[in-house]
Amino acid sequence: MQISIIIPAHNEAAYLKDCLDSFVTQTHVPDEVIVVDDNSSDNTYAIALDYAKKHDWIKVVQRQSVDEHIPGKKVVDTFNFGLRNASNYNLIGKFDADIILPPTYFESVLNAFQSNWKLGMCSGLLYIEKGNEWVYENIADKSHIRGPIKLYHKACFDKMDGLRPGVGWDTVDTLLAKYHGFDTQTLPQLKVKHLRPTGHGYSTKNYQAKGEALYRMRYGLVLTKIAALKMAWQAKSPKLYLQTILGYLKACFQRQKRYVSQEEGVFIRKYRWQGIWSKL
């Protein structure tokens, strides 16, 4: 199985070397790693280019974009830019530049895909540094495949028509994979170091975008309130709950474009409710 990895990178000079070192030392290196320098103003491009000169399976491309931070959309647009430069692949990965992989990451994930022909998405788990130890980044269940370390089977990726360009892309893709009959799996033995915790630099606008994403995924107001409450509880931020609901209502009044069809929305709501009832 051919593995192609795309790493969107904007001003990642502080982390990129450690990240790429962890790719180079894999027991099974990917067939291709494409670093997409997205309009960086630091040494991101120079660092990536240095690795590309030493390893012929590492490539670097540059993308010119706006300096404005657009949550979700910017990273997906950058990923898609890299995808257009990808070779043939069976597994496509979207990875962040601020992670350090354990040495057996791709070997283990490859074995998982080869062992289950229905597997559509797979990843390890993210850990952040607290004090002198690395602890699980507890912003999602351990069954959830996180955005910085995703691998998709091409059949699954094509069925769900790629990634949605906006906040929530790394939730709706999992739901669409299940809608199309694919399995998803996290491998708890693969502990990935996340050097910059999720939510770093989040603003009120980012929180409202979460609510907009829930609207675009056709959650409905009740499920949105439950999801917002869970996120606020995990983040210990009542403000997050209020801004998420505000974002949902704003998207509703603006009739923003949905991520999924009505039929897919019915499946998503049913799936989410089943998950809630199973925990009661």
Calpha distance 119→1 (Å, rounded) = 13
Please name the residues in contact with 37: beta carbons below 8 A apart, sequence gap of 6 or more. Answer: 9, 10, 44, 45, 48, 60, 61, 62, 63
> Percent of the chain scored above 70 by pLDDT?
95
Q: Are strands 99-100 and 183-194 parallel, antiparallel or unpaired?
A: antiparallel
Domain range annotation of the chain? 3-194, 204-278
Q: Any idea which fold 3-194 has? A: Spore Coat Polysaccharide Biosynthesis Protein SpsA; Chain A (3.90.550)
Mean pLDDT of 112-123: 97
Position 235 confidence tier, pLDDT thresholds 50, 70, 90: confident
| Residue closest to 167 by CA, chosen among 242, 234, 98, 76 | 76
pLDDT greater than 80 at residue 65:
no
Query: What pLDDT is attached to residue 232?
Result: 85
Record the tokens describing residue 271, joined without a space.
């799936």
**Predicted confidence (pLDDT) per residue in 128-170, tens digit:** 999 889 999 988 889 999 999 999 999 999 999 999 999 899 9
**Predicted confidence (pLDDT) per residue in 166-206, tens digit:** 989 999 999 999 999 999 999 999 999 999 987 644 455 67
Q: How buried is 269 (Cβ within 10 angstroms: 0-12 exposed, 13-18 middle, 19+ buried)?
A: middle
Query: What pLDDT is attached to residue 156?
Result: 97
> Percent of the chain scored above 90 by pLDDT?
81
Query: What pLDDT is attached to residue 201?
Result: 45
Contact present, 215 and 208 (Cβ < 8 Å): no
**Predicted confidence (pLDDT) per residue in 9-59, tens digit:** 999 999 999 999 999 999 999 999 999 999 999 999 999 999 999 999 999
pLDDT greater than 70 at residue 68:
no
